[in-house]
Amino acid sequence: MSTGYRLYTEVDVRTTTRNIVELFDKWRDAELVSIADTRDLPDERAVVVFDFNGNRVRVEYNQQLLYRSNLRAIYLTLEGIRMAYRRGMGELMTHTVSQMLALPGAEYIDPYELLGVRPDAAPEVVEAALKALLRQWHPDKHPEWDDDQKALGTRKCAQINEAGERVRQDQEGRA
């Protein structure tokens, strides 16, 4: 029996690409430039480039394991931004984001999102997610990687370890 709903991970690349094109057809202040097909990269990154109020914007996301999931995350984010502007919250968002990016060390990655766990996840679940991601990204596990891929893997492992430490500290603080 079909409910008519599709899981987020079941949405294919063609559907999401079509959704992105339709989103920009509705968004008066933005114009789609490109949707990069980066499925051949080891990190499954998705990239969308568009012009917004005279500025070129590049949105890149690679926190999910699959290209289609990363592309879908970009679509959902852009749709949320488009709707916020439509509701008159654009100036507030622009001000808030510009203030956040002006702070030193402003690149923030949510540790729970990076690890793919909920904030209320058991410590065993967090550790399992941490180990699985480290196996996926550790350069020693991929002798076929070139120097750029190894450098990316090293950066990702550092981010994963930092996220794991932040989650552990958060869990200890709640205990």
Q: Where are the domains of the chain?
A: 8-102, 111-174
On the question of a common fold for 8-102 and 111-174, the answer reads no
Q: Tokens 């893997």 label which residue?
A: 153
Q: Which CATH superfamily includes the segment(s) 111-174? A: DnaJ domain (1.10.287.110)
Quick check: 126 and 168 in contact, CB under 8 A?
Answer: yes
Question: Alpha-carbon distance 87 to 160, whole Å?
Answer: 36
CA 171 to chain centre: 24
The reported pTM is 0.51
Give me the tens of pLDDT residue by residue for the chain, a chain 175 residues long. 444 444 444 578 899 999 999 999 998 888 999 998 776 666 778 889 888 877 788 888 888 778 888 888 899 988 888 888 888 887 776 666 656 555 554 455 678 878 888 888 889 999 999 999 999 999 999 899 888 888 888 988 988 998 899 888 888 877 6
CATH code of domain 8-102? 3.30.160
